[in-house]
Amino acid sequence: MKNFLYPVICLLILPGLTMSENTVRQHNLMPIPQIVEFSYGRFIIDRDFTIELTGACGNRSERVATRLLRRLSGRTGYFIDQGFVELEQTINDPKLRISCKRTGKLDLGEDESYILNVSIHNITIKAPTELGVLHAIETLLQLFETDGKEYYFPVVKIEDAPRFPWRGLMLDVCRHFLPVEVIKRNIDAMAAVKLNVLHLHLSEDQGFRVESKIYPQLHLQGSDGDYFTQVQMQEIIAYASERGIRVIPEFDMPGHATAWFVGHPELSSNDTTYSIERGWGVKDPVMNPIRESTFDFLDQFIGEMAGLFPDAYFHIGGDENNGVHWGKNPDIQKYMEQQGYENTHQLQSYFTDRVRQIVEGHGKIMIGWDEIFDPGMNKNIISQVWSREGMKQLPQILAQDFQVIISNGYYIDLFWSTEAHYLKDPAREDFVDDVALEKNILGGEVPSWAEFNTPEVIDARIWPRTAALAERFWSAKEIRDVDDMYRRLDHVSYTLEELGIQHIRNYEMMLRRLTNNADIQALKTLADLVEPIEDYKRHRFDPDRKYLSYSPLTRLVDVVQSDALEARKFRQMTSTYLVEIKKFDQYKGRKRSSRIKQFKNSTCRLDLVQQMKSWQENNAELQAVMGDSPILNEIKPIATDLQQAAEIGLAAVKYIESGKTASVSWTNDQLSILENALEPKAELELRILPAVEELVRIAGNRPRETEAE
């Protein structure tokens, strides 16, 4: 979690890397703006910092500018004199002058551009709309720096606008409910990285999460009491709007709808009673598409929700209907025969088109997950492409001039590394070969499904990785430097704390709970090196452990994050070490020995060895902390793996430096031990193993055929 410079180049310290003030100056901006031109000099921040609003700025600018004063004041400790920024206020020689041409509308495609100019004496923000002002202020706050003597913004000229107009985060508030304040703090984080769409997944098998005044049994019986009142939803919408973020509601239909049926079984395709689903996975319950009463109900309900949610877009889900209950219902089967439908997808297309008419009847544009797509459908819908099948269809969808939002590759709940997500472009070439069709890609959305989320862990499940995806959706396609992304991400991650995001501070808190408040240092050393297994493997990992909606999410796998930064650091240390050591291949005999001897005192070699030794030394304390604790029992094998890996790694280094190749049997034995260690345990993977394996392979002169890492 800490600031560190990756030791990319051994022995060579880059002088003044963070301080050099030129146009290719290192910075912490994320997303990277379209044009950034640094110049020499700084604007020094002091307590006389003042802000003036001019032009056609509105109240939203007043408030975001006032928040800027508070955030600067909080970071610097300066008692900044100006308390509030007001529209009518004229400031004598203001430090920051903000001007807008108009307030702008919070609609898809509204101008979000801005020009930010920092000179030594003052700062100007010029934006066509307040949306640009909001973005400019976040950029300015990301420019905030200190050299340990003063706080300042570097002199810079930035011209910026988003690549895609739709940059979203989808929160599943159904599988585990997220109360208002969790939504709010995540809205603040979204705004900090220029995301502009909050998609709320509001109904599911496991919960119906918004109050309906027309059909109160929906939320009363479908939510265990955990739902947003309409007043709360208005509060969320207003909060998001203040920050330039549109709120899109999703009511998933016809599948993923068990929670509707608890209060309204008549909507279902199976004449039975329902209770809230506690398990995960795709379930059979599905709406009945052949009763007119279903559409009457949906017309009323969607009408109510269309009034509650002001945005022009309305999401009706449409994913993962397995057709089972349609298959079992004789009336539905008969109807399908009558209509000549050959499969349930055709019936769903009929259903979807009826719902589209309802949605449009209430003045909204329909969005659905990619299953809604049907080549014969009305063009005025948006497909949110998430599945492999959806991606395969993408060229066809785009060619037919349907508009899409890309979510495939962005499922933040899959426990992927940031890098894995970051390199996937919304218009990735393997699917979008015709650049002209990129115009039909509105943008991207990061879905956060909630099987493994609670208010306690949600922030760490979303952040900081989503910040890198926000850059993917905003910045130029060419921005793809992973190392630089990680460097900036580390800083963004820290600044999100200011907005109340809990990802860093809850880490140690949860470790304390695991040890019942004993010293956590030894456990943290291990925790820093492991990541949850990827994809949805957690569900199938242990046949004796079936996750339900009320299962505990407090074990180590819930504590640790998907980018184990310390493990990443170790992998980089190892590659650097191996690059350096390879350089001695050109020497032989005593010449080699004497150079190696010298090299042994180099930082990059000492750090690597010291790191492995420290894991060995940590083991005794770690064993003591784990004891026979039921909650920590499952990670004991990982502690052993770490201990062994450290030992193996140190032995491999010895071989490598000795100039002798390790024996085949030794190499095989170690590789086999490491292979066993690679087997996930406790739903976790020890992420230093690839690097140790690499050391062993080099020691035994058995390089990988294809370099994976």
Give the interface segment with a second copy, choosing from 311-319, 438-446, 477-485, 498-506 (CB under 8 A): 498-506
DSSP summary character for residue 548: B
Select 213 or 660, whichever has its Cβ closest to a second copy: 213
From residue 405 to residue 424, the character string flagging contacts with a second copy as x (rule: CB under 8 A) and all else as - is --------------------
Residue 246: in which H helix or E strand, if any? strand 246-251
Distance CA 608, CA 649 (A): 9
489, containing H or E segment: helix 482-496
3-class secondary structure, 311: coil
Q: Which stretch binds a second copy (CB under 8 A): 31-39, 155-163, 418-426, 629-637?
A: 629-637
| Cβ neighbour number for residue 343 with a 10 Å cutoff | 11
User: Of all helices (H) and strands (E), which one includes residue 596?
Assistant: helix 589-599
Task: Please select the residue that binds a second copy; options are 67, 428, 512, 539, rule is CB under 8 A.
Answer: 512
**Minimal distance in Å, beta carbon 409 to a second copy?**
30
CB 384, min distance to a second copy, A: 31
State which residue, 193 or 626, has the beta carbon closest to a second copy. Answer: 626
Question: Which CB, 224 or 434, lies closer to a second copy?
Answer: 224
The smaller minimum CB distance to a second copy, of residues 507 and 584, is found at 507
Mask for 172-201, x = binds a second copy (CB under 8 A): -------xxx--------------------
Of the candidate spans 131-139, 147-155, 383-391, 613-621, the one that interacts with a second copy by CB under 8 A turns out to be 147-155
Counting other chains too, the contacts that 58-61 makes at CB distance below 8 Å and 24 or more residues apart are 58/87, 58/100, 58/103, 58/130, 59/87, 60/103, 60/130, 60/133, 60/134, 60/241, 60/242, 61/85, 61/87, 61/98, 61/100, 61/130, 61/133
Q: For a second copy, which residue of 350, 494, 541, 666 counts as binding (CB under 8 A)?
A: 494
d(CA 407, CA 427): 11
Tell me the window of 12-20, 146-154, 257-265, 397-405 that interacts with a second copy (CB under 8 A). 146-154
What does DSSP assign to residue 48? T
445-474 residues in contact with a second copy (CB under 8 A) are 455-456
The residue from 16, 149, 330, 338 that contacts a second copy (CB under 8 A) is: 149
The terminus-to-terminus CA distance of the chain in angstroms comes to 22
- Window 347 to 406, contacts with a second copy (CB under 8 A): none
Residues in 265-304 at the binding interface with a second copy, rule: CB under 8 A: 278
In angstroms, what CA-CA distances link 335 with 157, 267, 324, 491?
A: 64, 17, 15, 58
Stretch that binds a second copy, among 129-137, 143-151, 606-614, 689-697 (CB under 8 A): 143-151
Residues 67-96 that bind a second copy (CB under 8 A): 69-70, 73-80, 83-84
Q: Decide if 527 contacts 559 (C-beta within 8 A).
A: yes
Q: What sign results for the dihedral spanned by CA atoms 466, 472, 475, 480? A: positive
* Per-residue burial over 83-97, b = 16 or more CB atoms within 10 Å of its CB, e = otherwise: eebeeeeeeeebbbb
320 is catalytic: yes
Phi, psi of 159 (to 5 degrees): -120, 125
Rounded Cα distance between 72 and 152, Å, is 10
Considering the candidates 110, 235, 304, 320, report the single residue annotated as catalytic: 320
Instruction: Kindly state whether residue 538 participates in binding a second copy, applying the rule CB under 8 A.
Output: no
Q: Tell me which of 21, 226, 353, 508 binds a second copy, using CB under 8 A.
A: 508
How many of the chain's residues bind a second copy (CB under 8 A)?
60
Shortest Å distance, C-beta 73 to a second copy: 4
The C-alpha atoms of residue 7 and residue 9 are separated, in whole angstroms, by 6
Q: Is residue 631 near a second copy by the rule CB under 8 A?
A: yes
Shortest distance in whole angstroms from residue 127 CB to a second copy: 23
Residue type, 325: H
Q: Which is nearer to a second copy, 15 or 77 (CB)?
A: 77
Nearest to 506 by CA among 496, 537, 536: 496
**DSSP at 54:** E
Q: Is 497 in the site for a second copy (CB under 8 A)?
A: yes
Q: Which of residues 247 and 504 has its CB atom nearest to a second copy in the complex?
A: 504
Alpha carbon of residue 140 to chain centroid: 23
- Is 6 or 666 the residue whose CB approaches a second copy more closely? 6
Parallel, antiparallel or unpaired: strands 207-208 and 365-369: unpaired
Please report whether residue 518 would count as binding a second copy according to CB under 8 A.
Answer: yes
Residues that bind a second copy (CB under 8 A): 2-3, 69-70, 73-80, 83-84, 146, 148-151, 179-181, 224, 229, 231, 278, 455-456, 491, 494, 497-498, 500, 502, 504-506, 508-509, 512-513, 516-519, 545-546, 548-555, 627-631
Q: Which residues are catalytic?
A: 320
